[in-house]
Structure 1
Amino acid sequence: MTDNATDSTPEPELYDSLDGQVALVTGANRGIGRQIAENLSTLGATVFAATRSMRHDVPEKWEHILVDVTQEGEVSDAADEIFQTAGRLDIVVNNAGIAEFDSDIVSAPVKTIDRTLATNLRGPMLVCKHTVPLLLQTDGGRIVNLSSGMGALSEEQSGGSPAYRISKTGINGLTAYLHGEYGDEGLLTNSVSPGWVRTEMGGDGADRSVETGAETPTWLARFRPGSPAGRFWRDREPIEW
């Protein structure tokens, strides 16, 4: 994205209410994912809260659904269940993710690389594979991909965490692909960097609350048809890839 493209990004039109709409949020039992799910529920959406175990606690007002994003069968079954239960899907938030910090590519265990890429990149691809057909049935279906500034090619790529960084660069590539492939059919796909958030992943020293981290992803989920897509956002502003 160039500065000119950033400057020319039009203002989105937003839904004030999500009544009647259906959202799938992965990794919805804690952290940013849980807050996004809560925000969308408050706005009136029916929320399918996807977690890796049904033992994870989520509010009773949400539809609790089993999804380990590394397991295609669970992803496929979840998409079928959403269609059978709700008959539609308007919003997908690809939030589930893991991180490995500190190691460089030489010292990173191969099992850590494989697990991180499987969860953070292959997982969202599987979710999109099985939910895009549902999203295309509604006017202006939205995909919100949780990325990170650590995956931005415009920022210095140093300081360790190779698998995490590369997985988030890949997420941005997934966003660009989905926009190019399905944007003309009305699908709105965007990436978002929530910033450094005080979650189990981000740690207690992070400079942002969960509520702040969830603000822009929630905002993107409110985009009306025809709003900007195929972009990378932070604090409701487009940023460089």
Structure 2
Amino acid sequence: MSTVTRYESMGEQVVLVTGATRGIGKQIAAQLTEFGATVYAGARDTVDITADNQHPVELDVADDETIKQAIDQIATEAGRLDVLVNNAGVAGPRAPLHENETADIDTTLDVNLRGPAVLTKFALPFLLERSGGRVVNVSSGMGALGEGMSGTYPPYRISKAGLNGLTVYLHGEYAEDGLIANAACPGWVRTDLGSSEAPKSPAEGADTPVWLATFRPGSTAGRFWRNRELIDW
């Protein structure tokens, strides 16, 4: 059973969304902007952020220096950070693990797991300045241990299972300090990663992460969600 109360507006709140140039990330940034938040849209190349009501910020989650610079920019310009949405991700190699190149495994883990962990590390001092700071990790059912791991994209599956682990850790370590950390499975979405055959639009895929980003203090945290419903790890 879950307890959810939400902000009706996010005016004066500041959000950082990674991988905001296309697909689910672009929709998350757009929907939170419509919700009244000040949105910093993370991109490896800021010219790819075309929305004039968002704040482009150079951010490559595989590059520690751009991570630190992005957080410094937000701290200088906005003076606060209320929500971090770890959305940036790559599919990685599809073949069974024994056929993967080690460099491809490293890249997938760097972007999908190490990047969110390091970015969250630098964001936490700001997220903890006031009760109710949120971390939303955009995960995947492909990383759910209970749903089985056989099939394709082994580094992707492993990285998303690790991202779920990061979510549980953040809840266990910082919930008493007021942090609300949750993971979201957006489902199979029509993106470059998900393919044109997927049943969900990017806007539909963004719905649950955006919903989690609007949680008020006291809402359920440390859990895994799909279609606004709790699912098993």
Equivalent residues in 2 for 1:167-178 (5 A)?
Answer: 167-178=159-170
Tell me what 2:2 maps to: 9
Cα shift at 1:101: 4.8
Tell me what 1:228 maps to: 220
Matched, 1:151 2:143: yes
Matched, 1:93 2:85: yes
Deviates more, 1:54-63 or 1:113-122: 54-63
Whole-Å separation in 1 of the counterparts to 2:50 and 2:43:
9
RMSD: 0.8
> Is the CA contact (8 Å cut-off) linking 1:188 and 1:229 kept in structure 2?
yes
Corresponding residue SS for 2:46: coil
Cα shift at 1:54: 2.2
TM-score for both structures, normalised by structure 2: 0.98
Whole-Å separation in 2 of the counterparts to 1:20 and 1:62:
14
Cα shift at 1:109: 1.0
What residue ranges of structure 2 are gaps of 5+ in the alignment?
Answer: none
Cα shift at 1:71: 0.8
Tell me what 2:61 maps to: 69
Equivalent residues in 2 for 1:1-241 (5 A)?
Answer: 8-10=1-3, 12-241=4-233
Cα shift at 1:16: 0.8
Corresponding residue SS for 2:84: strand
Whole-Å separation in 2 of the counterparts to 1:83 and 1:198:
34
> Is the CA contact (8 Å cut-off) linking 2:131 and 2:177 kept in structure 1?
no
Identity across matched positions, percent:
51
Corresponding residue SS for 2:110: helix
Aligned partner letter, 1:59: A
How many equivalent residue pairs? Answer: 233
What residue ranges of structure 1 are gaps of 5+ in the alignment?
Answer: 1-7
Deviates more, 1:206-215 or 1:55-64: 55-64
Tell me what 1:4 maps to: none
Cα shift at 1:111: 1.1
Whole-Å separation in 2 of the counterparts to 1:137 and 1:101:
39
Whole-Å separation in 1 of the counterparts to 2:107 and 2:160:
14
> Is the CA contact (8 Å cut-off) linking 1:88 and 1:138 kept in structure 2?
no
Deviates more, 1:206-215 or 1:93-102: 93-102
> Is the CA contact (8 Å cut-off) linking 2:18 and 2:43 kept in structure 1?
yes
Cα shift at 1:9: 2.3
Q: Deviations over 1:46-103 (max 9, x none)?
A: 0000001123233121110000001111111111110110011001000000002530
Whole-Å separation in 2 of the counterparts to 1:120 and 1:102:
15
TM-score for both structures, normalised by structure 1: 0.95
